[in-house]
A and B are shown apart, each in its own frame.
Chain A
Amino acid sequence: MLKGKIIDKALSTAESIGTDRSRCLRMRFNRNLCSGCTSMCRSGAITIDEDVHILADNCSECMLCVSACPSDSFEIRGSDFYSLLGRLRKIQSSVRTPVLGCNIRTDAACHGKTFCFGFLSEEHVIALSVFMGDTLQIDMTGCADCRNGFIVDVLKKRIERVETKTSLRLSDRIKLVHSKADLDFQEIAYDRRGFFKALKNLTFMQAAGLFDNDDSGEEMRSYSLKKLPFKRELLNRALKVLPEEAGRGLVRNYYYTVGVTENCNNCFACIGMCPAGALKIEETGEGRELFFSSSLCNGCGLCQDFCMTKSVRIEKGFSGDNPFGFSNTKREVLCTA
């Protein structure tokens, strides 16, 4: 069995982005016109017809599509942002300013390697700034010569946008380093014990990779399955540890409110449409009503577009007390209502 797996691994295509059409807004609702990924893609590698395709020959793996999709239709194979975050945090005990590098460049020294920085959405940089106790350096020294050089501007703009929307001062926490002279890379000094421990960890991780069931291509991806997009999960985690004042800015700009007008006939079709599971039915004294949780909403707006009585309204910003709870959409206070 292991032999087969190893051969499979060796022969499998190197495509690093997987797609899941059941999450795609245009697949879920045929009148939706979302062009988040196609407008972002500079190489025209994405086509959407009966499925979401990435043309491997054209794709430069800048990962912009991954960060642009509101509902996680794209997935970077083998990426684990949490373990990357954990590793960088751990390193901070010995190195003050860890360096995050990308795996397009194989020669550069860094403390953690990830895919092209294009996958770092606004939500990702918020999480990085919140969870990295001290300064993180992002090694962009190679970007100028890279086919994905445009990422520098994209990431800069994303950081700026977060700073204008919230009170988070990201530039103090995340440093985009463009020239080698500015890069402050410190080797982690491993003692003998540390070296063998690292070697053991590495071996285990590689072995685990062989045994995990990543035959995702054949897995039944049910449209009705609710899945909270990773970006939203990151934001929720960040919100829980942020001080109240900063948190309020986050909730105002990155969270959403869904409310319904009195025209709502309780058909609950929006519940099925929602890819993230932010809507549900709850029994109240007046019968079954539609309830909404802001922490589970990715703001894709499918519920509003799909509503047959045109009574669902989605708005940016959440003004309630607790974005993590469910509340009745009939009583939801909309700013423009």
Chain B
Amino acid sequence: MPKYGMVIDLQKCVGCGCCGMACKTENNTQDRAKGQTFNWADFISRTEGKFPNVKITFMPVLCNHCTDAPCVKACPVTPKAMHKHENGMTIHNQERCIGCRLCQQNCPYSSEDVDKSKAAYSVISFNDFNDEIHPFYKDTKELIPGCTSSGAEVAKKAGDTPPHRTLYKHSDYASVREKGKVEKCIFCEHRVMKGEKPACVASCPAKARIFGDVSDPNSEVSQLLKKHKAVNLKNNKGEVLKGGEKGTQPNVYYIKSFMAGAKKEPAKAKKA
């Protein structure tokens, strides 16, 4: 059984944000609202210094699919809604989720409200009990009155999904989530099972994201991890785990540095 992980080559990453868009399209995640990001593939971008000595750093972030996942430990239901698959992925089962948000509280990479906690990102997002999910899918209001039709209407007439909606099936999660439940990156398991790469990996124009089996010494990810010193993120403020610190044993690794021409290991992200 493989143990999936991801290596992100910060030197190759140009900060275009394709991964984020690909993820939003693939997984039909909602727009950021009320302190919930709904960005399964997110990024930290940081501009430091004073002109002309300005420095920009960019770091894609996503669920780390930790080996020692605190979100799984916290989940109060039986069988756990947030659970580990044998392939190392941390998967969220929608049917069993009751929306208590203990996972969000316990994940070091998540916040219950990113705005209030001033976090850079949150891996786990929560769909409010009362708010409609993707109201756009059901919205029958014409974009231009008397001239165009609505997205919902077009979808109905064409017998297809509303625009920007991808359909897929998985035994644990749905392509669109429900009210009162959490959601997070699932490493696109529905794609991986078909032999495809996760949407963010497939879409990266710079090939900065490498997805594969970290337990196989011949895989590309293992080779890269052997060749380069890798770091893991420590929290959702951009700090990284220092040598010796294990944290929650994340399975997303960062190699090299975002800085142009930088030979040194990634600059430790300072607090913004």
Residues of A within 8 A of B (CB): 21-22, 26-31, 50-51, 220-224, 267-269, 271-273, 280-281, 306, 308
Contacts and interface: CB of A to CB of B under 8 A. Distances in A.
A21 B98 CA distance: 13
A269 B102 contact: yes
B178 interface: yes
Given A27-B77, A222-B94, A306-B100, 20 more contacts: A22-B96, A26-B78, A30-B77, A30-B78, A50-B79, A51-B79, A221-B95, A222-B95, A222-B178, A223-B77, A223-B97, A223-B98, A224-B178, A267-B101, A268-B129, A269-B100, A272-B99, A272-B129, A306-B76, A308-B102
B185 to A, nearest CB: 21
B78 to A, nearest CB: 5
Interface string B66-92: 000000000011110100000000000
A31 B181 CA distance: 21
Contacts of A221: 95
Given A224-B178, A267-B112, A280-B129, A272 B98 contact: yes
Contacts of B97: 223-224
30 contacts: A22-B95, A26-B78, A27-B77, A28-B76, A28-B77, A28-B78, A30-B77, A50-B79, A220-B95, A222-B96, A222-B178, A223-B77, A223-B81, A223-B97, A223-B98, A224-B97, A224-B99, A269-B99, A269-B100, A269-B101, A271-B99, A271-B129, A272-B98, A272-B100, A272-B180, A273-B98, A273-B100, A281-B130, A306-B76, A308-B102
A31 B95 CA distance: 20
Contact of B76 (A29, A271, A281): A29
Contacts of A308: 102
Contacts of A271: 99, 129, 180
Given A223-B81, A271-B180, A30 B76 contact: yes
Contacts of A21: 78
Contacts of A281: 129-130
A269 B98 CA distance: 9
A50 B79 CA distance: 6
A134 to B, nearest CB: 45
Contacts of B95: 22, 220-223
Contacts of A22: 95-96
B126 to A, nearest CB: 10
Interface in B121-135: 129-130
- Top 4 nearest A-B pairs by Cβ distance? A272-B99, A272-B98, A269-B100, A27-B78
Interface string B43-64: 0000000000000000000000
A223 B178 CA distance: 12
A8 B236 CA distance: 54
Chain A CB count within 10 A is highest, among B94, B98, B130, for B98
Contacts of A224: 97-99, 178, 180-181
Contacts of B180: 224, 271-272
Contacts of B130: 281
Nearest to A221: B95
Nearest to B96: A223
Nearest to B102: A269
Contacts of A280: 129
A335 to B, nearest CB: 28
Contacts of A272: 98-101, 129, 180
Contacts of B94: 222
Interface string B194-221: 0000000000000000000000000000
A27 B78 CA distance: 5
A170 to B, nearest CB: 37
A306 B75 CA distance: 12
A216 to B, nearest CB: 15
Contacts of B181: 224
Nearest to A32: B76
B78 A50 contact: yes
A47 to B, nearest CB: 13
Contacts of B129: 268, 271-272, 280-281
A224 B100 CA distance: 10
A50 B78 CA distance: 6
A301 B68 CA distance: 31
A28 B95 CA distance: 12
Contact of A29 (B77, B81, B112): B77
Contacts of A223: 77, 81, 95-98
Nearest to A52: B78
Interface string B109-121: 0001000000000
A269 B79 CA distance: 18
A280 B77 CA distance: 20
Contacts of B77: 27-30, 223
